[in-house]
Amino acid sequence: MIKTQRTKDLLQEIRMSDMYDGYGVCMAWMFSISDYLTFNTDSHPPAEWEYRPAMVGADTDSFEYQALVELNYSAEDLEQIIVILSRWYDLLIAANKNY
């Protein structure tokens, strides 16, 4: 069950952007959340995401990152989204829908 309205809102935003390329959408959100956690909070993305921050900082031009900044998500707000994205990623890989 989704814990908060903020989590529901972000999940709806992710669903709306998944038209034809689920893998690309999933990766874009995973990278943006990783950037956001690294550069805007005192938290870090899950180790299994194998994220390494860019030397130039976050990709502030991405729509996904801008949405996270605008709505001022906390690391706690993103915990459930991280679990959902991780599961979605695993499902996409299992279905051979990656590239």
Comparing 6 with 39, the larger pLDDT belongs to 39
In this prediction, residue 8 has a pLDDT band, given cuts at 50, 70 and 90, of confident
Residue 10's contacts (CB-CB under 8 Å, 6 or more residues apart) are 67, 71, 73, 77, 78, 81
Single-letter amino acid code for the residue at 18: D
40 in a structural domain: yes
pLDDT above 90 (res 9): no
Single-letter amino acid code for the residue at 5: Q
**Cα dihedral 47/50/53/54 (nearest 10):** 180
DSSP summary character for residue 61 = T
- The count of structural domains within the chain is 1
11 in a structural domain: yes
99 in a structural domain: no
CA distance 17 to 15: 5
51 in a structural domain: no
Domain containing 25 equals 5-46+57-94
What pLDDT is stored for residue 10 in this prediction?
A: 87
Please give the model's pTM, rounded to 2 decimal places.
Answer: 0.88
Question: Where on the phi/psi map is residue 72: left (φ > 0), alpha (ψ -120 to 50), or beta?
Answer: left
52 in a structural domain: no
Q: What is the pLDDT of residues 33-86, one digit of tens each?
A: 999 999 999 899 999 999 999 999 999 999 999 999 998 989 988 999 999 999
